[in-house]
Structure 1
């Protein structure tokens, strides 16, 4: 598909948006809009088999994520979104590199609820911020399995269930290996399926 290829070429080398100039961003957002117009899954929230799995972030305009690079000695590593569609759960995991032996991670667990065929409301439930070594981080799959098993970590591990932290996400494009979403803060997310 030409639209998909054009988008992937536009975001290549942009380090998830960290290296995107204003001109790059305009070109990427134009490619995103063209692809959204050709969404092969008109009711993405109902396509649980396509939504389910581990997704890796390719590009975003989210300043909350990109801001990590502004902290001295920190570099944003891979960012994943693990979707458990049948359980209506999402696990966001950002790997953070820094000084040797001080690699960290930032994770947020959330529950989602369909609002319509494209939009989900997201309610954040738990936040984990810590060093990869102290939380025994081996892979995103292993880490999510530990969270689902109810493990508490040697980290800043905070329940968000009694707080009003929530948002929404529109899934504007979904196929077997690419997903585009637009969040309530105006951010765009382009992700590729890992498994």
Structure 2
């Protein structure tokens, strides 16, 4: 599909948006809109077999995520989003790299509620910030297993007030291995199956 290839080519080498110039961003937004226009899944929320699973962020305009790269002595690593449709859970995980032995992780656990064929309301419930070594982090999968069993971690691990920490996300494109979403703060997210 030409539109999908054009988008992937436009975001290649942009380090999830960190290296995108204003001209790059405009071109990427056009490529995103062109792909959204031909979304093969008109009601993405109902296509749970596509939505469910492990995703890796390949491009975003989210300042909150991209600003993680501005921490002193640290650089933003991979960003993952794991969606568990069976219990309406979503886990966002950002790996942070820098000085040896003090690699970090920033994570948020949330619940989502479908409100239309393409929109979900999201209520953030738990935030975890830690050094990877302190929590024995070796993969997003094992980390999420720790969260799902309610394990208290050696971390800054605190509940979030879901009445105050909430938003929504429109899934504007999804196929077997690519998903595009637009959030309530105007951010765009492009993810690929991990």
Q: TM-score, normalised by structure 1?
A: 0.98
SS at match of 1:106: strand
Q: CA RMSD in A?
A: 0.8
8 Å CA contact 2:54, 2:193 repeated in 1: yes
d(CA) in 1 for partners of 2:187 and 2:53? 22
Q: CA deviation at 1:71?
A: 1.9
Indicate how the Cα distance of structure 1 residues 59 and 162 shifts in structure 2: closer, same or farther if over 3 A, else same: closer
Q: Who is 2:164 aligned against?
A: 164
Q: CA deviation at 1:66?
A: 0.5
8 Å CA contact 2:123, 2:163 repeated in 1: no
Q: CA deviation at 1:147?
A: 0.5
1:64-79 equivalences in 2 (<5 Å): 64-79=64-79
SS at match of 2:151: coil
d(CA) in 1 for partners of 2:156 and 2:88? 24
Q: Deviations over 1:154-178 (max 9, x none)?
A: 0000011455110000000000000
Structure 2: gaps of 5 or more residues: none
Q: Deviations over 1:11-43 (max 9, x none)?
A: 000000000000000000000000000000000
Structure 1: gaps of 5 or more residues: none
8 Å CA contact 2:103, 2:131 repeated in 1: yes
Q: Deviations over 1:99-134 (max 9, x none)?
A: 111000000000000110010000000000000000
Tell me which moved more, 25-34 or 158-167: 158-167
8 Å CA contact 2:126, 2:159 repeated in 1: yes
8 Å CA contact 2:96, 2:103 repeated in 1: yes
d(CA) in 2 for partners of 1:124 and 1:57? 19
SS at match of 1:86: helix
Q: Who is 1:152 aligned against?
A: 152
4+ runs deviating over 2 angstroms: none
Q: TM-score, normalised by structure 2?
A: 0.98
Q: How many residues end up aligned between the 2 structures?
A: 194
d(CA) in 2 for partners of 1:9 and 1:36? 16
